[in-house]
Amino acid sequence: TKTISKCYVQVTGMTCASCVANIERNLRREDGIHSILVALMAGKAEVRYNPAVIHPSAIAELIRELGFGATVMENCGEGDGILELVVRGMTCASCVHKIESTLMKTNGVLYCSVALATNKAHIKYDPEIIGPRDVIQAIKDLGFATSLVKKDRSASHLDHKQEIRQWKRSFVVSLVFCIPVMGLMIYMMVMDSQLADAHAHHNLSKEEMEALHSSMILEYQLLPGLSVMNFLSFLLCVPVQMFGGWHFYIQAYKALKHKTANMDVLIVLATTIAFAYSFVILLVAMAEKAKVNPVTFFDTPPMLFVFISLGRWLEHVAKGKTSEALARLISLQATEATIVTLGPDNVLLSEEQVDVELVQRGDIVKVIPGGKFPVDGRVIEGHSMVDESLITGEAMPVTKKPGNTVIAGSINQNGSLLISATHVGADTTLSQIVKLVEEAQTSKAPIQQFADKLSGYFVPSIVAVSVVTLFAWIIIGFVDFEIVEKYFLGYNKSISAAEVIIRFAFQASITVLCIACPCSLGLA
């Protein structure tokens, strides 16, 4: 049978369910990966893989190539104790061999690998037999200085502050430019409807209508073919396209590089095409010195970006709330412990401050009044009241006397206690709760998996539909021009039939793209 190992990868930069689907779909194809489960909230991927074929670092690299940030999380070993140490003073390969062979001979050490280049040692041990301090001592006895690799206790990967700021900025920029564009649009609509009324009641000729039309302030031409309306819309649209859409462009580029299409691709496609098409049409109109102003879509990008960046911003705020709960739980853990050595009749011989990660099963830990319990354990000596509200929700302190159990993270109130450590590291109640919360966020509802699958097919199919629309209208137009004439508003006789058809077809296909963007928001 092939051995299957499990590793956890911390993933940053995921925004919605389709990112999750994207990572899962692409990694399942790789050799040596058996299964992968990605947690959007916890920002964590759990991968079962065959260590003979692929390494965790290679898995993280694969995720990075998809355009996300990824680092392997070392501290997620199950059952076995895992120790990451920095070893100083190694000079050559024989030092490495010396450390490895000595440790492998030590009872309770299951696996040991030392890297000379990075000065790191990776050790697996059985916590029943041996503990991290014994391992460190064994290396020190060989004449090398060693210390723990500092773990990131701040749960900074659960912090969405930066993303919240980024999307808020994106939203504000888009909004500032979107309001005037919408104002212009509404004004035009009102004016157009008034014109239509005038036309209906007074039976004006086409020439008089055009004269009326161009007398409107916004339709006034600065240059032949360039109206005030189009010029203003263009000016307002450029900053949104540049600054509001910056993050979308980056993400879309990364997605396309890997031949996947996500939401960002759709948004970028719709806005870029609308912008580019409008810009080209303006240039053509100016070159032709057109009497009638062309219909442009400069109002599309700002409005799309406003809605979508608002959606992303709210989404990150919501994620931040859930993750904040996790971060708060993690922050309840104590960082240091006072370990004491007892002589006969429980006489204190010595005490030392150590990192919580260095506490071993069976250690005697002293907890002073007001201190946090660093590990789960059993009281050996002392009487005290303990505030366990973080686990039980019970506001009244609980009495503790020898023989009672205490929970890591709870607060000792009035007496000094000596406890014997029973659960340390990842086995403490608090760590387990944190793990459960993370796992609860990892597991997906069946409907969610279905939505993820759909969103993978959604983007390509929308693009296909809009291309079909484009060609369909071009064909319809050339076969039966009356239909286009009927639906194409603002059509004037001064331009050729072919151009009318192409403009109309473009308008229809861009509309399909733009309308599809909010649907994908709904999916997400």
CA gap 145, 340 in Å, rounded: 23
Q: Which of 141-145, 374-378, 424-428 has the lowest mean pLDDT?
A: 424-428
pLDDT in tens, 60-82: 999 999 889 998 887 554 556 78
Vertex 33: Cα angle to 31 and 35 (nearest 5): 145
Structure-derived torsion over alpha carbons of residues 50, 53, 57, 63, reported in degrees to the nearest 10: -80
The rounded percent of the chain whose pLDDT value lies above 90 is: 11
Residues of the chain with CATH 2.70.150.10: 334-428
Contacts 24+ apart (CB under 8 A), 267-272: 267/304, 267/305, 267/308, 267/517, 269/463, 269/513, 270/300, 270/304, 270/510, 270/513, 270/514, 270/516, 270/517, 271/241, 271/245, 271/300, 271/301, 271/304, 271/305, 272/241
Instruction: State how far the Cα of 204 lies from the Cα of 411, in Å rounded to an integer.
Output: 86
Contact partners, residue 503, CB within 8 Å, separation at least 6: 281, 294, 295, 488
| Mean pLDDT (whole number) for 493-517 | 75
Quick check: 369 pLDDT over 90?
yes
User: What is the average pLDDT across 328-332?
Assistant: 78
Burial of 117 (0-12, 13-18, 19+ CB in 10 A): exposed
What is the DSSP secondary-structure string of 361-382?
TT-EEEE-TTPBP-SEEEEEE-
Confidence of residue 416 (pLDDT cuts 50, 70, 90): very high
Q: What would be the CATH architecture of the domain defined by 5-72?
A: 2-Layer Sandwich (3.30)
91: phi then psi, degrees, rounded to nearest 5: -115, -35
Residue 155 pLDDT > 60: no
**What is the C-alpha end-to-end distance of the chain, expressed in Å?**
40
Burial of 448-466, coded b for 16+ CB within 10 Å and e otherwise, reads eeebbeebbebbeebbeeb
Average pLDDT over residues 2-24: 81
The pLDDT score that the predictor gives to residue 367 is 93
Q: Residue 310 — pLDDT band, cuts 50, 70, 90? A: confident
Numbers of helices and strands, H then E, in the chain: 15, 19
pLDDT band, residue 384 (cuts 50/70/90) = very high
Beta-bridged to residue 38, according to DSSP, are 45
Q: How far apart are CA 513 and CA 470, in angstroms?
A: 11
Instruction: Tell me how far CA of residue 362 lies from CA of 121, 348, 510, in angstroms.
Output: 25, 16, 69
Please determine, for residue 364, whether its predicted confidence score (pLDDT) is greater than 90: yes
Q: Which of 202-216, 305-319, 355-369 has the lowest mean pLDDT?
A: 202-216
What per-residue confidence (pLDDT) applies to 81? 74
Q: Does 33 or 246 have the greater pLDDT score?
A: 33
The reported pTM is 0.58
- Proportion of the chain above pLDDT 70, given as a percent: 85
- Strand pairing class (384-387; 145-148): unpaired
Average pLDDT over residues 12-19: 78
Tell me the CATH number for domain 334-428: 2.70.150.10
**Statement: residue 152 has pLDDT above 70:** no
229/204: higher pLDDT: 229
Q: Using the predicted structure, report yes or no on whether residue 467 has a pLDDT greater than 60.
A: yes
Name which of 268-277, 325-334, 484-493 the model is least confident about: 484-493
Average pLDDT over residues 128-148: 87
Please list, in sequence order, all residues whose beta carbon lies within 8 angstroms of the beta carbon of residue 484, skipping any fewer than 6 positions away. 473, 476, 477, 500, 501, 504
Residue 12: which pLDDT band, with cuts at 50, 70 and 90? confident
Numbered ranges of CATH 3.30.70.100 in the chain: 5-72, 81-148
pLDDT band at 211 (very low <50, low <70, confident <90, very high): low
HEC letters along 39-53: ECCCCEEEEEECCCC
What mean pLDDT do residues 115-126 have?
86
Highest mean pLDDT among 104-118, 123-137, 225-239, 366-380 belongs to 366-380
The CATH number of 81-148 is 3.30.70.100
Residues 482-497 have a mean pLDDT of 66
Q: At 522, is the pLDDT very low, low, confident or very high (cuts 50, 70, 90)?
A: low
351 and 339 in contact (C-beta within 8 Å)? yes
Least confident of 85-94, 250-259, 330-339, 406-415: 250-259
pLDDT, position 383: 93
